[in-house]
A and B are shown apart, each in its own frame.
Chain A
Amino acid sequence: MLILTCPNCGETKDESELHAHGEAHITRAGPEATDEEMETYLFERVNPKGVHFERWHCSYGCGKWFHAARCTNTLEVFGTYSAQTTEPPKEIIDILDKKRPGWSWRKFGGTAQ
């Protein structure tokens, strides 16, 4: 069972008290966007086997949103952080560089494309 700590209320909860909402740091496409940009925003996902940044909702807790960095293959949680950011904070990047050298994920991280 996944156990995550909500950075808003500080409570450590198991996944049945939280709700996962998929990939984080997606750039919202506006009315002027091309079809490709709209498709990328709405549907296309990294879906990695490895490091993943994702949105969570503290649904049976404080009711606020947060982000988590997690491995989809081992379920190791690297850390959770505020949802009020467009990219993972330095502490999380440092942990990943140490634990998963060469990791990549969209535009962040070592060998990022």
Chain B
Amino acid sequence: MKRYSAFAIAREAFRYHTGWERAWRSPEPKKKYDAIIVGAGGHGLATAYYLGKNHGIKNVAILEKGWLGGGNTGRNTTIIRSNYLQDPSAAIYEKARSLYEDLSQDLNYNVMFSPRGVIMLAQTEHEVRGYKRTAHANALQGVATEYIDARRVKELCPIMHIEGPRYPVLGGLWQPRGGTARHDAVAWGYARACSDMGMDIIQKCEVTGVRRENGKVVGVDTTKGAIDCDRLGIVVAGHSGVVADMAGFRLPIESVPLQALVSEPIKPCMDVVVMANTVHGYMSQSDKGEMVIGGGTDGHNAYTQRGSFHHIEETVRALIETFPMISRLKMLRQWGGIVDVTGDRSPILSKTPVEGVFINCGWGTGGFKAIPGSGWGFAELMATGHSPLTAEFGLDRFREGRFIDESVAAGVAH
């Protein structure tokens, strides 16, 4: 692989950009791999990357039914933060956030990590208490956050109207090193690094069956034929239930559409990320100048990657009170992704009833921020059978009542 650098740009400029290589190879599948990852989203690719980098397992294929990064990884609003309430969540999300800090250098690919700061608005007394509690929890966990008052919120984000009649801004939870990153670049950067280690990323290859012998996985059936493997990682987000069904087990997961939209590009007006959980909306400004807005999930299960129109209307209507200026903006695009929601709003990174099959799912509405940490921990779990990062996120926690309850802490998609 040729490295990207300022020198490479100069070199290519002199030869009319004829020397750039493809970022990853597109090989045909081999007969057998040590490990197969189903799903080339951020979590699947990061898992493969750390399997190779941290554990030396490089005979790996990543199978993707569509195009890599075309699932939720390429559809999310890219908010990165680690201000969760429970200790196991703080550990894995903060691991991810800290890996994002120098991911561009690690991958030699600019993922445009922008730690511009994230404010979660407190707009009810309940939220004020909740976020103060989270700030205290974060202090104990070593995650740098702070509860700030309304005046400080206004200083950080002057376009905000904090005296709204329905939902005045009372304060906020501020994480200065939270922010955003370029979602596609995260997938592409990991893909390029995996391909460079000799791993095969096979796109347009849908897994249609999981082959087992004596309760142990031996391979998968795909639209490109059968492929053998010793270990299988299922990392398919909204389709987790469908692929788990192929392997013969059920999950405590429901799949629902989550939507986002962007406005026409405007001049820079907001250099932080703002989440308003009471009204189910959040907003940031992209580098192109578009206001990126995310909303709530549909109330009913669905696999249609679009979502119901009235949710868009509700989100925008609610945000207008706090951001009056967006009432004049034209919205350009709207889309949806299928998110995999668990009962306690925490992910599942676990062994499964089938030996050799591991599952990484349940990231629901908020897993983009977790990609590097999830890949790190899940690779360790797949390679060694145990990871301190994933230990609390087992499938058995639902039976045993050991929930990692983040539904109160977040209360909204993000």
Partners in one complex: yes
Q: Are B241 and A75 in contact (CB under 8 A)?
A: no
Question: Which residues of the other chain, A, contact B308 by a CB distance below 8 angstroms?
Answer: 1-2, 15-16
Identify which of residues 7-62 in chain A touch chain B, using a CB-to-CB cut-off of 8 Å.
14-16, 19-20, 22-23, 35-36, 38-39, 42-49, 52, 54
Docked pose: A73 CA to B306 CA in angstroms: 11
Q: Are B303 and A73 in contact (CB under 8 A)?
A: yes
Q: Are A35 and B400 in contact (CB under 8 A)?
A: yes
Query: A-facing mask of B243-276, CB < 8 A → 1, else 0?
Result: 0000000111111000000000000000000000
Residue from the list B255, B310, B343, B400 in contact with A47, Cβ < 8 A = B255
Q: Are A52 and B343 in contact (CB under 8 A)?
A: no
Asked if B398 is an interface residue, CB under 8 A from chain A, the answer is yes
Residue of A nearest to B253 (CB): A47
Asked if A72 is an interface residue, CB under 8 A from chain B, the answer is yes
Asked if B330 is an interface residue, CB under 8 A from chain A, the answer is no
CB distance from B242 to the nearest CB of A (A): 5
Q: Are B303 and A72 in contact (CB under 8 A)?
A: yes
Asked if B7 is an interface residue, CB under 8 A from chain A, the answer is no
If A1-B309, A1-B310, A35-B400 touch, does A45 touch B252 (CB 8 Å cutoff)? yes
A interface, over-half SS: mixed
Question: Interface residue tally of chain A, by bracket?
Answer: 20 to 34
If A15-B300, A19-B299 touch, does A45 touch B309 (CB 8 Å cutoff)? no
Q: Are A43 and B303 in contact (CB under 8 A)?
A: no
CB distance from A37 to the nearest CB of B (A): 10
If A36-B399, A42-B398 touch, does A49 touch B252 (CB 8 Å cutoff)? no
Q: Are A39 and B399 in contact (CB under 8 A)?
A: yes
Query: A-facing mask of B373-414, CB < 8 A → 1, else 0?
Result: 000000000000000000000000011100000000000000
Asked if B144 is an interface residue, CB under 8 A from chain A, the answer is no
Question: Which residues of the other chain, B, contact A15 by a CB distance below 8 angstroms?
Answer: 299-300, 308, 310
Q: Are B398 and A43 in contact (CB under 8 A)?
A: yes
Asked if B302 is an interface residue, CB under 8 A from chain A, the answer is yes
Question: Which residues of the other chain, B, contact A49 by a CB distance below 8 angstroms?
Answer: 239, 241-242, 255, 303
Question: Which residues of the other chain, A, contact B304 by a CB distance below 8 angstroms?
Answer: 72-75
Q: Are B303 and A35 in contact (CB under 8 A)?
A: no
Residue from the list A46, A48, A54 in contact with B300, Cβ < 8 A = A54
Residue of A nearest to B242 (CB): A49
Docked pose: A1 CA to B304 CA in angstroms: 12
Q: Are B250 and A16 in contact (CB under 8 A)?
A: no
Which residues of chain B have a CB within 8 Å of any CB of chain A? 239, 241-242, 250-255, 299-304, 308-310, 343, 398-400
The 10 closest A-B pairs by CB, nearest first: A43-B252, A20-B300, A47-B241, A20-B299, A39-B399, A16-B310, A43-B398, A49-B303, A44-B250, A73-B303
Which residues of chain A have a CB within 8 Å of any CB of chain B? 1-2, 14-16, 19-20, 22-23, 35-36, 38-39, 42-49, 52, 54, 70, 72-75
A-B contact pairs, 29 of them (CB 8 A): A1-B309, A2-B300, A2-B308, A15-B310, A16-B308, A19-B299, A22-B254, A22-B301, A23-B301, A42-B343, A42-B398, A43-B252, A44-B250, A44-B252, A44-B398, A45-B251, A47-B251, A47-B255, A47-B301, A49-B239, A49-B255, A70-B300, A72-B255, A72-B303, A72-B304, A73-B302, A73-B304, A74-B304, A75-B302
